[in-house]
Amino acid sequence: MTQRRLKVGLVGCGKIADGHIEQVRALGRADVVAVCDSEPLMAEQLATRLGIPARYDNLVRMLDEQKLDVLHVATPPDSHRAIATLAFERGCHVFMEKPFALDEAEAKLIVDAAAAAGRRVGVNYLYNYETPGLELERLVTGGELGSIVHLESHYGYNLAGDYGIAVMSDPRHWVHRLPGKLFHNVLDHVLAKIVPHIGDDFELQAISLRRRQPIGVDVVDAMPDELRFMLSSGSVTASGLVSAHGRPVAHTLKVFGERDSVELDYMARTLVHASRWAQPSALGRLFPAFVQARQHWRGGWANVGRFRRHEYHYFQCMRVLLDRFYDAVEGKGADPVPVDQILRVCRIIDRIVEVTGRKA
């Protein structure tokens, strides 16, 4: 028998909406039947470009008429609680863009509403499902790294890019409404990689600053563009860096284990094991560079293979995450991002905002 395809709708027809729709279609197990945006022209242009059958400017109407299985939410986070509540009440599972919510309290209300309705709620922590993230998952599950000692998560941000220009040029941009401003919009990418390896109890130190010159617009000038933090949880420590000025713009994770350590580069889609000085004297220092080079060479050719198999799309990681989330929706597996990890990310962001004086 042919399995019934999921009926999917999307609310919020901005730039990221294209990625959601493309990856839902690539999975071949669901149909995007409707899109919605409070600005009718946004819904119209997305539906027209991507051939979506129905378009709405009223979410309640879309939910009532379409009887969706899953609603993808790609709106600013200050709308997430209200939208998710409406969806759960109408029997929808919800897949949320990050940031999941404005704070932990609001995130808890969303999670509780999903549980009360017997629905799944997920969030687009996509980079854990990038190629190196999946390899890290395998290494950790197999115990090859041993107990985790420390993690270093680095996320670069280009204020001269399309999104950065939008934030810098528009004091009314929704990022400026977030408690953590610019950092609140990207900290999920930093923290989602850390929270699977720590507990709910942690200590944290953080500092934020602005390196760029002021432009004379108070709302924009109040936004720092550099953040550093350090946290400890039990025997594990972690550090994070968000930088708008470090070049090249980086997106990396280092994981230090008792048995082995690895470095993940999400831009290059590689995972490299730390070099080992195994030979005596100066001769031993000759070999690690060649071992590292061989790892990069193998990683490069593995990426060529993925490219040839059409598995190298920019949002390939979202495709993997969505596949697992839809499995959970259909009762075939657990939530790919457990709710305790979602809440832990929100709790750490709250703490960073508090420590940096709500100026992050």
Can you give the pLDDT at residue 1?
45
Same domain, 48 and 163: no
Can you give the pLDDT at residue 281?
66
For residue 172, give the CATH number of its domain: 3.30.360.10
CB neighbours of 275 closer than 8 A, spacing ≥ 6? Answer: 288, 289, 291, 292
How many domains does the chain fold into?
Answer: 2
- Tell me if 333 is assigned to some domain: no
d(CA 279, CA 286): 9
Q: Which pairs count as long-range contacts for 157-161, CB under 8 Å and 24+ apart, including other chains?
A: 157/182, 157/186, 157/225, 157/242, 157/243, 157/244, 157/249, 158/244, 158/249, 159/212, 159/225, 159/244
Same domain, 309 and 209: yes
Can you give the pLDDT at residue 314?
87
304-322: average pLDDT:
93
d(CA 233, CA 247): 30
Report residue 278's pLDDT band, with 50, 70 and 90 as the boundaries.
low
- Tell me the pLDDT tens digit for each residue of 32-49: 999 999 999 999 999 999
- Tell me if 260 is assigned to some domain: yes
Look at residues 161, 157, 156, 153 and name the one whose alpha carbon lies nearest to residue 132: 153
- Tell me if 331 is assigned to some domain: no
Can you give the pLDDT at residue 357?
79
Same domain, 91 and 148: no
Same domain, 253 and 295: yes
The answer to whether the beta carbons of residues 344 and 179 sit under 8 Å apart is: no
* Lowest-confidence pick of 68-77, 82-91, 178-187: 178-187
* Lowest-confidence pick of 2-11, 57-66, 274-283, 304-313: 274-283
Can you give the pLDDT at residue 205?
97
Residue 113 has pLDDT above 50, yes or no: yes
Same domain, 195 and 97: no
Same domain, 57 and 186: no
Look at residues 248, 236, 151 and name the one whose alpha carbon lies nearest to residue 191: 151
Residue 229 has pLDDT above 80, yes or no: yes
Residue 3 has pLDDT above 80, yes or no: no
Same domain, 200 and 275: yes
Q: Is 334 exposed, middle or buried (0-12, 13-18, 19+ CB in 10 A)?
A: exposed
**Last-in-domain residue among 75, 103, 123:** 123
Same domain, 63 and 194: no
Count other Cβ atoms within 10 Å, centred on residue 358. 10
d(CA 102, CA 347): 10
246-271: average pLDDT:
96
Can you give the pLDDT at residue 275?
84
Residue 293 has pLDDT above 60, yes or no: yes
d(CA 231, CA 228): 10
For residue 109, give the CATH number of its domain: 3.40.50.720
For residue 232, the cross-strand partners are 203, 237
This prediction's pTM: 0.94
Can you give the pLDDT at residue 279?
65
Residue type for 170, please?
Answer: D
Look at residues 174, 194, 299, 274 and name the one whose alpha carbon lies nearest to residue 242: 194
- Tell me the pLDDT tens digit for each residue of 120-176: 999 999 999 999 999 999 999 999 999 999 999 999 999 998 889 999 999 999 999
The encoded tokens of residue 219 equal: 């709302």
Q: Which pairs count as long-range contacts for 165-169, CB under 8 Å and 24+ apart, including other chains?
A: 167/223, 168/215, 168/220
Distance of CA 194 to the CA centre of its chain: 12
Report residue 276's pLDDT band, with 50, 70 and 90 as the boundaries.
confident
98-118: average pLDDT:
97
Q: Is 126 helix (H, G, I), strand (E, B) or coil?
A: helix
Q: What percent of the chain has pLDDT over 70?
A: 97
Q: Give the structural domain span for 293.
A: 128-317+344-355
d(CA 215, CA 223): 11
Residue 359 has pLDDT above 50, yes or no: no
